Amino acid sequence: MGILCSLALMAPVVGSADMELKFGVYTSKKPTDMVKQSRPLLLMLEENLSAALKQKVQIRLEVAKTYEDGIQALVDGSYDFAQVGPVSYVQAKEKAPGLEVLAVEGLKGQKTLNGVICVLSNAVIATISDLAGKKFAFGDEFSTTGRFNSQLYLVEHGITSKELSLFKYLERHDRVGAAIAGGDFDAGALNERTFKKLLETGAPLRALAYFPIDGRPWVARAGLDAKVKEALRKALLEIKDPKALASLGEEGLSFLPGRDEDFGATRKAVKENFRFTP
């Protein structure tokens, strides 16, 4: 499975939890750092769940090495619930129809976020059409922002793989930004929160275009007890503490009610991805 780490969020306590739930995420930094970052939110979730289910609940964070490993763990039931990208959800749902959306990460009440196509701040590139003949960096081959939605946006604005002199998948959003800032690529696609963080560190980048992406879903495995599933959904939607929500990676994000129908745009991006490499 390629699981890097499985870590409890709480220090040892007297007695054991009545229920343990496994929560899965992709690796984006050291597993110990991810536990530290996620601790406030998941401890609050544990508290809400324990109260709702009237029994002590402990959440164990499991970190997957790759998008593929994370998808497979959700599909085969290794995770009870997981935070995944929209494309990962769509792909997992095809393999395991019983998967169910618990909530969606949204911003200002909207269940969509932004992806960014960026270039060097002093680049002589003013429009998407100016990318013809240029080198373009994408993220992971399974990424919503780093591949599928950004490639559909390029296609709809007249740029396919044939118009680019080179394109490459660099796996992570931060690597895409660093590669552009370092002059290795002329442009690239990354999520808005990573783009903002790079700007804050002084990276010489400029947004060329923004494109919409569906918010990240939190998903319950097929076959999870209905009572637990509903308690999870309610507990997520009840979390309003800004400090706890900060672990979602962008200021102002919150949990919103979600359903499978929210991911129509993602399904279109996956279905029409062949248009980028005709």
Query: What pTM does this model have?
Result: 0.87
Kindly state the percentage of the chain with pLDDT values over 70.
91
- Indicate the average pLDDT of the chain: 90
Q: Are residues 176 and 257 in the same domain?
A: no
Q: Are residues 224 and 245 in the same domain?
A: yes
Residue 62 DSSP class: E
Q: Is residue 135 part of a domain?
A: yes
pLDDT at 227: 96
Q: Is residue 158 part of a domain?
A: yes
Structure confidence at residue 92 as a pLDDT band (50, 70, 90): very high
Q: Is residue 25 part of a domain?
A: yes
Q: Are residues 207 and 131 in the same domain?
A: yes
The label of the residue with tokens 């991006």 reads 269
Q: What is the strand order of the sheet 135-138 is part of?
A: 166-169, 135-138, 187-191, 112-120, 205-214
Per-position b or e across 161-191, b if 16+ CB within 10 A of its CB: eeebeebebbbbbbbbbbbbbeeebbbbbbb
Q: What CATH number does residue 170 fall under? A: 3.40.190.10
Q: Are residues 126 and 191 in the same domain?
A: yes
81 vs 16 pLDDT, higher one: 81
> What's the sign of the alpha-carbon dihedral 221, 225, 228, 234?
positive
Cα separation, 271 vs 273, in Å, equals 6
Q: Are residues 84 and 149 in the same domain?
A: no
Q: Is residue 154 part of a domain?
A: yes
Strands 112-120 and 187-191, bridge-based pairing: antiparallel
Average pLDDT, stretch 121-134? 97
Cα separation, 240 vs 27, in Å, equals 25
Task: Please give the residue range of the domain that contains residue 60.
Answer: 3-109+215-262
pLDDT at 12: 32
Average pLDDT, stretch 201-225? 96
Q: Is residue 270 part of a domain?
A: no
Among the candidates 187, 213, 239, a domain finishes at 213
Q: Are residues 18 and 69 in the same domain?
A: yes
Among the candidates 197, 213, 229, a domain finishes at 213
Report pLDDT digits (tens) over 152-177: 999 999 999 999 999 999 988 999 99
Q: Is residue 278 part of a domain?
A: no
Q: Are residues 7 and 96 in the same domain?
A: yes
Q: Is residue 140 part of a domain?
A: yes
Report pLDDT digits (tens) over 24-34: 987 655 566 66
Structure confidence at residue 65 as a pLDDT band (50, 70, 90): confident
Q: Are residues 200 and 228 in the same domain?
A: no
Q: Is residue 97 part of a domain?
A: yes
Q: Are residues 21 and 63 in the same domain?
A: yes
Domains contained in the chain, number: 2
224 vs 244 pLDDT, higher one: 224
Q: Are residues 186 and 236 in the same domain?
A: no
Strands 3-8 and 100-107, bridge-based pairing: unpaired
pLDDT at 4: 43
Is 145's pLDDT higher than 90?
Answer: yes
Q: Are residues 9 and 98 in the same domain?
A: yes
Please compute Rg for the chain using Cα positions: 19
Is 199's pLDDT higher than 90?
Answer: yes
Q: Are residues 209 and 219 in the same domain?
A: no
